[in-house]
Amino acid sequence: MTIHELYAIFPGSSPPPPHVELQGHEVPEPYRSLLVHEHHMTVTMEAHHGKPVYVRVLQRHRSGSWYARKILLFLVGTQKVVQFGIVRINLDLCSREVRHAILEEATPLGRILIRHNVLRWIEPTSYLRIQPDQELQQCFGLKEPVPVYGRLALIHCDGKPAVELLEIPAPESTGGGV
């Protein structure tokens, strides 16, 4: 799974912004701490910001057993965007309860998997330095594009690769956007 494949899921979507692949040690702080690990970004973002996060779905697409969504995570009680993401999930590999919670689109994926005690392993597959396009600039409230960092990852649920992810934390210097 590549960033191109994840962006291509959404009909009419622009191509991914310009990006280069990095090794984990090349990702600068604070983004290294936010990205180079095997934990859920939901939990990582909440710990980093000291507040829970909530999800807003920007776009969704369903094809057979696959469900994908383009999302923003916000700090609870604010309009501060802390993360942009694209998630593609094989719903056939989820229990009925987990599937229902995902399709409700009210709770971040990491929180759902934790709440339902899904045995999971997060496998980062690559790290990226990204030059924000107009969509990311708008999401993050950037007046000028500044490099952002992200990761591609797989979440293995009950031993099977069930989720493909692109996760991009908001630049530290912004107040969020949308």
pLDDT digits (tens, 9 = 90+) for 143-173: 998 999 999 999 999 889 999 999 999 998 6
- Ordered by start, the domain boundaries in the chain are 3-7+18-169
Nearest to 137 by CA among 81, 88, 86, 87: 81
Q: What is the C-alpha to C-alpha distance for residues 81 and 176, in angstroms, rounded to an integer?
A: 4
In tens, the pLDDT along 45-83 reads 999 999 999 999 999 999 999 999 999 999 999 999 999
Tell me the CATH number for domain 3-7+18-169. 3.40.1410.10
Entry pTM? 0.94
Mean pLDDT of the chain: 93
Q: Residue 57's beta-bridge partner residues?
A: 71
**Where does the pLDDT of residue 106 fall: very low under 50, low under 70, confident under 90, or very high at 90 and above?**
very high
